[in-house]
Amino acid sequence: MIIRDRGLASQLREALRKAEYRVWQAKDGVDGLKKLRRACPDLVVMERELSPVNHEDSFLRIRKATRVPIIVVGGGQNAVEMLELGADAYLPKPPDLMELTARVRAMLRRESVEGPSGGDKNGVGIMGISPGRKISPAI
């Protein structure tokens, strides 16, 4: 999970862990790219309002780096733009936590049927997630 807002990050992390997903968190786009490469998550949850990485949009850098599903959380005015840029789902802030976990389950279920798109089935990244695995401390 790449979420700059600490309060939001805490809520999302807790909801996903209660749903028995392993979660990793990155503090910004640069940290997120590093953890994405190291952790190979099955899904990414990220905040839209992140600083650019080398003057390039953080979302676009992450989308180029992986084919795993990405759920973007942000202001409602960005929904169409983010979906057009390659987000797999968009939730306005503050997201409904039950909807978030349902979307994560649905995307991971679809990935398991269609085959992996780059992850190693060990987590939801930048917030990193894995179904049915023992929860480990965040990276």
> What are the distances in angstroms from CA 45 to CA 74, 115?
11, 20
The pLDDT score that the predictor gives to residue 59 is 81
Just give the CATH number of 6-125.
Answer: 3.40.50.2300
Mean pLDDT of the 128-132 span: 47
Other beta carbons within 10 angstroms of residue 114's beta carbon come to 8
What are the extents of the domains in the chain?
A: 6-125
pLDDT, tens only, 74-94? 876 678 888 888 899 999 988
pLDDT, tens only, 42-72? 899 988 765 555 545 778 888 888 888 999 9
pLDDT, tens only, 99-128? 999 999 999 987 765 554 444 444 444 454
> What are the distances in angstroms from CA 69 to CA 18, 54, 113, 124, 137?
21, 23, 14, 9, 22
Please tell me the pTM assigned to this model.
0.77
The pLDDT score that the predictor gives to residue 125 is 44
Tokens representing 132 are 């049915």
The pLDDT score that the predictor gives to residue 105 is 92
H or E segment to which residue 109 belongs: helix 97-114
